[in-house]
Amino acid sequence: MSDGVGQGDPIRVEMREITKRFGGVHALEGVTFKARAGEVHSLCGENGAGKSTLMKILAGAITDYQGQVVLNGKPVAFGGPKDAEDAGIRIIHQELNLVPDLSVASNIFLGREMTGRFGLVDDRAMEARARAMFDRLGAPIDPRARVGELRIGDQQMVEIAKALMFDAAILIMDEPTSAISDTEVARLFRVINDLRRAGTTVIYISHKMNEVFTLSDSVTVLRDGRFVATAPRTESDPARVVRWMVGREIAGLSFQPHKATGKAMLQVEGLSLPSRPRSGRPSLSGLNFEVHAGEIVGIAGLLGAGRTELLESLFGASPEPPQGTIRLDGVPVRFSRPDRAIVAGVALVTEDRKTLGLFDQMTVAENITLARLNSLTTGGLVDPRREGQAVAKAIVDLSIKTAGGRAAITSLSGGNQQKCIIARWLLTDPKLLLLDEPTRGIDVGAKAEIYTLIRRLADLGMAILMTSSELPELLTVSDRILVLCEGRLTAELPRSEATEETIMDAATRFLDRVTA
């Protein structure tokens, strides 16, 4: 095998024998990584393989490590992120790093504000630049909106805009598309292709093999903190990369779609939700559908179609209460707050794990048992033995990679944090399980485990409603698929009739078609 990176172009960055330990955890062991100017280089590996850690070192966010970073032939040692930025390195972190209380434009220019004649911050100029960038990305985001009000997909677009606003020699994207859907991804890819032509080195981390193989010139694979291989795209294929990642073959999964035979667990009639001005959040109008016990219903739609809003409105988590009728197990319900929904037997695995899902100050065990503290307590005290057993079982069932229940949640890789949130809601044993992008950031092998788990829960009688922006995922797990476009239900397809084409057709029903 050659060194994998396209021949001819100069090596822009070389990381030599990088080793990084967190306490007893060997996050990286003698990893070597090289990327050339003007190439898109994907970095692949299972959850916890060390991808983010390696890139945090390159971006100056981790400064204590062994080994050497060589930039354009010269060794560098960054004292912090600012040094890396000055050297032309920009990173989009996996866990978004925005300030919720500031506007979109202020976030994009944070620390690099544009100033006008008297040295005053020039908001108008920054807004105009931001707007131009969103046009280029095809994202209708208002630069004056408060970031905290945007949905997670839009926040991800803000992070992307922020990284693109300043010319970078090396642009690192750590799972930039985990919360955005196919149309946005297509636009982003065009921008990435422009950058490559202009000579930028793009380092791209993703669990989505189709993205890796559409975009990259080269692929590097890590496994358990070690370097496995670097190969040009032309000398590798998705199956081979997955084999490098997991060290074994993964069987393709297929489930037979189930006919709804259980009772209607969720019945929705005329569900509507007004949209709040400037929030960029879509409204919902006049939705009618049912989900039966034992059934998995998928929700498809583009970014902004209203998928998250639908799940939140069923969980008592929307800013305004929805209109219409919602029946749970035959009983009309109107949840004003999530805790009411939880008591009634509804669980929501949220797509936004940073603000709604995880508690940074807590341990893995505390994060997992949080939602069912009631059922674990005896006389107001947590029963540590039962809590310990429940957590140990969850760690095994979902193969969560952690030193144990007492480890800090922030010590887990992104994908393993996501598994903790899923574990939390499974422990509440809900009647209706709402899953919003449940496999966001989860690696191929673990995805298959999660699909199997979801199927098993449905077989036990749970009613499951789940969104995903990955159509193959919906087509694998759902018994039936609902398609939303601009807050309206445009199709309801049994799995046997659902294909990527029929879904996309319904998902763009009311939109001016954009040709890619």
| Binding stretches for Mg ion (CB under 5 A) | 52, 94, 414
Among residues 280 and 441, whose Cβ is nearest to Mg ion?
441
- Find the shortest distance in angstroms from Cβ 422 to ligand ATP: 13
CA distance 129 to 114: 10
Among residues 220 and 478, whose Cβ is nearest to ligand ATP?
220
Length of the chain: 516
298: phi then psi, degrees, rounded to nearest 5: -95, 150
Q: Are strands 264-273 and 323-328 parallel, antiparallel or unpaired?
A: antiparallel
- Find the shortest distance in angstroms from Cβ 107 to ligand ATP: 23
Position closest to Mg ion via CB:
52
Among residues 127 and 443, whose Cβ is nearest to Mg ion?
443
Q: Which of Mg ion, ligand ATP, none is residue 47 near (CB under 5 to 8 Å by kind)?
A: ligand ATP
Q: Which of Mg ion, ligand ATP, none is residue 37 near (CB under 5 to 8 Å by kind)?
A: none
Q: Which of ligand ATP, Mg ion, none is residue 411 near (CB under 5 to 8 Å by kind)?
A: ligand ATP
- Find the shortest distance in angstroms from Cβ 98 to Mg ion: 18
- Find the shortest distance in angstroms from Cβ 53 to ligand ATP: 3
Q: Which of 198, 196, 246, 242 is nearest to 216 (CA)?
A: 196
- Find the shortest distance in angstroms from Cβ 410 to ligand ATP: 6
Among residues 326 and 442, whose Cβ is nearest to ligand ATP?
442
Among residues 57 and 342, whose Cβ is nearest to ligand ATP?
57
Q: Which of Mg ion, ligand ATP, none is residue 218 near (CB under 5 to 8 Å by kind)?
A: none
Position closest to ligand ATP via CB:
415
Hey, is 344 helix, strand or coil? helix
Among residues 11 and 403, whose Cβ is nearest to ligand ATP?
403
How many Cβ atoms from other residues are within 10 Å of residue 363's Cβ?
Answer: 19
CA-CA-CA-CA dihedral for 229, 234, 236, 239, to nearest 10: 150
- The beta strands (E) that lie in 330-442 are given as 331-333, 346-349, 377-378, 381-382, 432-436
What is the contact surface with ligand ATP in residues (CB under 6 A)?
22, 25, 27, 45, 47-53, 94, 401, 410-416, 441, 443
> Which residues contact residue 182 at a Cβ distance below 8 angstroms, ignoring those fewer than 6 apart?
302, 469, 471, 504
Q: Which of ligand ATP, Mg ion, none is residue 48 near (CB under 5 to 8 Å by kind)?
A: ligand ATP
Residue position matching structure tokens 């300043």: 166
- Find the shortest distance in angstroms from Cβ 261 to Mg ion: 41
Among residues 280 and 441, whose Cβ is nearest to ligand ATP?
441
Q: Which of Mg ion, ligand ATP, none is residue 448 near (CB under 5 to 8 Å by kind)?
A: none
Residue position matching structure tokens 């297509």: 186
Among residues 94 and 200, whose Cβ is nearest to ligand ATP?
94
On the 0-12 / 13-18 / 19+ scale of CB atoms within 10 A, 272 is middle
Q: Which of Mg ion, ligand ATP, none is residue 153 near (CB under 5 to 8 Å by kind)?
A: none
Query: By the 8 A CB rule, do 462 and 201 touch?
Result: no
- Find the shortest distance in angstroms from Cβ 95 to Mg ion: 9
Q: Which of 250, 303, 254 is nearest to 138 (CA)?
A: 303
CA distance 130 to 148: 17
- Find the shortest distance in angstroms from Cβ 333 to Mg ion: 38
> Which residues contact residue 256 at a Cβ distance below 8 angstroms, ignoring those fewer than 6 apart?
none
Residue 262, Ramachandran bin (φ over 0: left; ψ between -120 and 50: alpha; else beta): beta
